[in-house]
Amino acid sequence: MKSWPSPVVPTMPARHGNPVPLRLYDTADQRIREVSFQNPEGPAGMYVCGITPYDSTHLGHAATYLTFDLVYRALLDNGRSVHFVQNVTDVDDPLFERAERDNQDWRELGTEQTDLFRSDMEQLGVIPPQHFMSVSETVDEIIDIVGSLLDQGKAYILDGEYPDIYAPITATKQFGYESNFTREEMLEVFAERGGDPERPGKHDELDALIWKAERKGEPAWEAPFGRGRPGWHIECAAIAANRLGARFDIQGGGSDLVFPHHEFSAAHIEAAYEVDRMAGHYVHAGMIGLDGTKMSKSLGNLVFIHKLTANGHEPSAIRLGVYSQHYRSDRDWSEELLVESEQRLALWRAALQQPGSLGKAEELVRSIREYIADDLDSPGALQAVDTWAKHPRGENDPEAAALVVCALDSLFGISLQ
């Protein structure tokens, strides 16, 4: 599956200051710490869970991918190339249900919505993954990892009409470390997010489906253990492991994926490859609400990226609106926030007419780098630019303006041109 065109990310001039090593909050360790790398000399491995393409990209999706775009840019600023992988969950119940409702082929629906997602990401200037992989094109890889778990006795086939395959939570000794949820919390969330705790015959209520035996009217693939299709969590496990290895640096997504999705994706890889920990950092972005209410398809209160841009709102203003609040917080979007972001963008552009001294611009860049390196403190960085833009400036060095333009484009994806 093809990705989308990459924006041009300018390189910060070395003579104007040094990058700052990136520190991120790790969900598993529950603290902020510096990002370390499995391969000190190689690229940083980053996997970010992608969309289930049954509806248009909304601002909640975009906020997550803009978060990891900041991560990508911070790593580039530190001289680290990035091996970025992202999936598209085009084999899943919500897609099939929507396709059946609309009397549309599920492949056509998936392709249509994935194309729109690509267009939204391109407009927002999000750096694309090197590997943008749909589940439907990686089923053979998923079959391999399911077979490996069966061979190692780390998965079991359920008796009955449908011989579905499950991975037990006992397949690894460390199950639960990623989310830090109690069993009671796991059971509650598991039932809400695609799990089947009441399924008869399972060894444990929390065991996760990794292969669903063929049902009438659903797509299915041939496998040594019977025709069927993959479970949700094993899909990401296979795609990540086959491109980044069983241990990589950053696993990312929205906070709604902490459990069960990321817990089980990690557990499947750790069981199949016998490693203690899949990702060096588990990083999660908060949820987006609209005018005080959680944004969701069921409530019909979604803000769509393509509609915002069609109405003339600049991608840079949308990015500023998202970055005006911290990525880990559950935060709100509103028309007022977008207006404020457009006013902020206008203020910054006006300040370029009198940019002040190169020394002040270098101080600003240093502040931006320090804020971003401190667990992506984008609100602090934006306030620093506001202070610079509002402060009286005596000198007007064209090199100062060029440096600020370069820094905001390189580190934030914000265009002041």
Cα→Cα distances 186→202, 203, 283, Å: 16, 16, 19
The span from the CA of 258 to the CA of 252, in Å, is 9
- Residue 403 confidence (pLDDT): 97
Is residue 302 within 8 A of residue 58, CB to CB? The reply is: yes
pLDDT of residue 26: 98
Tokens representing residue 108 in the block: 């056509």
236 is in an annotated binding site: yes
Sign of the CA dihedral with 42 first, then 378, 62, and 26 last: positive
pTM equals: 0.96
| CB 53, CB 107: distance < 8 Å | no
Give the separation between CA 207 and CA 199, rounded to whole angstroms: 10
Residue 50 among known ligand-binding residues: yes
Q: What is the pLDDT of residue 57?
A: 79
- What is the residue type of 130? Q
> What pLDDT was estimated at residue 298?
64
17 to 214, 291, 406: CA distances (angstroms): 59, 40, 13
210 among annotated binding-site residues: no
Q: Is 254 annotated as a binding residue?
A: yes
Annotated binding-site residue? 406: no
**Would you give per-residue pLDDT tens digits along the chain (417 residues)?**
999 999 999 999 999 999 999 999 999 999 999 999 999 989 999 999 999 998 877 898 999 999 999 999 999 999 999 999 999 999 998 899 888 999 999 999 999 999 999 999 999 999 999 999 999 999 999 999 999 999 999 999 999 999 999 999 999 999 999 999 999 999 999 999 999 999 999 999 999 999 999 999 899 999 999 999 999 999 999 999 999 999 999 999 999 999 999 999 999 999 999 999 999 999 999 999 887 776 666 667 789 999 999 999 999 999 999 999 999 999 999 999 999 999 999 999 999 999 999 999 999 999 999 999 999 999 999 999 999 999 877 778 999 999 999 999 999 999 998
Burial class (CB in 10 A: 0-12, 13-18, 19+), 349: middle
* pLDDT (0 to 100) of residue 56: 76
Please check if 51 is assigned to a binding site: yes
> Are 49 and 252 a contacting pair, CB within 8 Å?
yes
Helix (H, G, I), strand (E, B) or coil at 301: coil
268 is in an annotated binding site: no
Would the annotation count 256 as a binding residue? yes
